[in-house]
Amino acid sequence: MTTTTEPAGVPAPNSGTDGDPQKAPEQVRASAEVSARIDAVADVARQLLPESGVITDRTRLRTYECDGLAHYRVTPALVVIPQDDSQVAAIVRACAEHGVPYVARGSGTGLSGGALPHAEGVLIVTSRMRTIREVRREDQRAVVEPGVINLDVTRAATPVGYYYAPDPSSQQICSIGGNVAENSGGAHCLKYGFTTNHVTGADFITPDGDLVALGGDAPDAPGYDLLGAVVGSEGTLGIVTATTVKLVRLPEEVRTILVGFESTDQAGAATSAIISAGIVPAAIEMMDALAIEAAEAAVRCNYPDGAGAVLVIELDGARVEVEEEYAEVERLCSDNGAFEQRLATDPAERALIWKGRKSAFAAVGRISPDYIVQDGVIPRTALPEVLRAIAELSSSSGVRVANVFHAGDGNLHPLVLFDDSVEGAGDAAEKVSGAILDLCIEHGGSITGEHGVGMDKAKYMPRMYSDDDLDTMQLVRCAFDPANISNPGKIFPTPRLCGEVPGRHKAAHPLQQAGLAEVF
């Protein structure tokens, strides 16, 4: 979303107390103490990094005040840009020593506020850690640093006959570190899974500043699955400084089909029919009429005229298998109302079909000055019902909603459109956005599929989970980060257990009494 409104509870970029005569003396002292702690970390960083790697200038700091969800903006107190894992570890140790919170950031393309800085903390930017250390064809593995761009892994592996399967729509600019933090998916997650299915090992900096190895080259390392806990933890457990990823063999045959339907109901029915037939395409993507309109305005993708919805279906694998699957998919789409089907078999034709889908989020800016990118999951069979309910929400509220999503696995990405210059428009859009998440939960789904919880969706967590559930999740966080300095304030709606403030409660927490938790 492109609005810059400051939400309640998020510090304003210029918040502070220094020099303000209206502030109480104790507030001024507290501000001075914070400044002293930040200065101490900055001194350590200056000993390790070149001048360009330590940013304290207020104007330059504001460059980093948000991620891809620009609705939330906080200016960090300090930005550091390390170049290797030893520098990251030293900076984290300094943060731990001085009680300074830190947030890791990659390319800044996240859509949940997960990389939102802390106003009294350090932003550790990994964009200069972009070495692909190894591409091992014999092991089907690559070892990459967190700043490596997603698509560059595939570019490095393609000459030896492999590629990296997880492919977020932002794969030309998003980095592997952020993909690991958010457990990102992409169009091909239907067949190939999410980031967690393609990560076998990681070099990991704990909140104490220790560098440890998690997992390895094997598909399933022995012992506790600490790697599984870290992938998707949104930077709340520590920082990954290198990742061992699986490489997938380039398929013998790839066919991409663009299918036009009169309605999303028909497209949804075709999607269910294909999966029910035992066919698992590499991808099944859906766009409705409003999303198509935006894509046409932005990239002139030439999708079928008059379509109320299109499916982009990709089949890959052995040639004989793809030929058989294509014939069945073509029939099932026709049976469910398809009025036009186009087949692409060479890379240029496939890229043209994918161009509209891959550009959809940014393309919405052509038809609306502001928008919210939402992310929720529902059972695939509930697609028609939920899409109708979203249409009713849009009609009754007067807020337009464009739908573009991974139809094959029910991962919705409604784009809620508004003009923030119109009084109340932002609030109305937020209300519709929240109602869509409620629909997902009501139909047995989730509030996020691949964008993460971050800052944006923390308030929705109690709608999915009980207090006991949330406490259990927080126990894991406490085990990794008892001081609560690694990306604090994200995922959970209120501080809990080791992160509870202020002070210690008079009565013990029930989990304490049961011997399951320790308050630090």
Encode the chain (520 residues) as per-residue pLDDT tens digits: 444 333 333 444 344 434 455 667 777 777 899 999 999 999 999 999 999 999 999 999 999 999 998 878 999 999 999 999 999 999 999 999 999 999 999 999 999 999 999 999 999 999 999 999 999 999 999 999 999 999 999 999 999 999 999 999 899 999 999 999 999 999 999 999 999 999 999 999 999 999 999 999 988 888 899 999 999 999 999 999 999 999 999 999 999 999 999 999 999 999 999 999 999 999 999 999 999 999 999 889 999 999 999 999 999 999 999 999 999 999 999 999 999 999 998 888 899 899 989 888 888 989 999 998 899 999 988 998 999 999 999 999 999 999 999 999 899 999 999 999 999 999 999 999 999 999 999 999 999 999 999 999 999 999 999 999 999 999 999 999 999 999 999 999 876 666 554 333 445 555 545 555 454 4
> CB of 511 within 8 A of CB of 517?
yes
CA 194: distance to chain centroid? 11
d(CA 290, CA 400): 9
Helices (H), 136-263: 150-157, 176-182, 189-192, 226-230
Whether omega before 502 lies within 30 degrees of 0, making that bond cis, reads: yes
Amino acid (one-letter) located at 159: P
Question: What is the pLDDT, as a whole number, of residue 20?
Answer: 52
> CB of 101 within 8 A of CB of 74?
no
> CB of 308 within 8 A of CB of 292?
no
DSSP 498-516: GG--SS--SSPPHHHHTTS
d(CA 280, CA 329): 10
Bridge partners for 228 per DSSP: none
d(CA 78, CA 42): 7
CA 123: distance to chain centroid? 18
308-335 pLDDT, tens digit each:
999 999 999 999 999 999 999 999 999 9
Question: What is the pLDDT, as a whole number, of residue 6?
Answer: 35
Question: What is the pLDDT, as a whole number, of residue 22?
Answer: 62
A 10 A CB-CB count for 301 gives 22
Q: Which of 270, 302, 263, 306 is nearest to 407 (CA)?
A: 270
Q: Which of 252, 283, 296 is nearest to 408 (CA)?
A: 283
Q: Residue 408 burial (CB < 10 Å; 0-12/13-18/19+)?
A: buried
d(CA 244, CA 116): 26
Q: Residue 46 burial (CB < 10 Å; 0-12/13-18/19+)?
A: middle
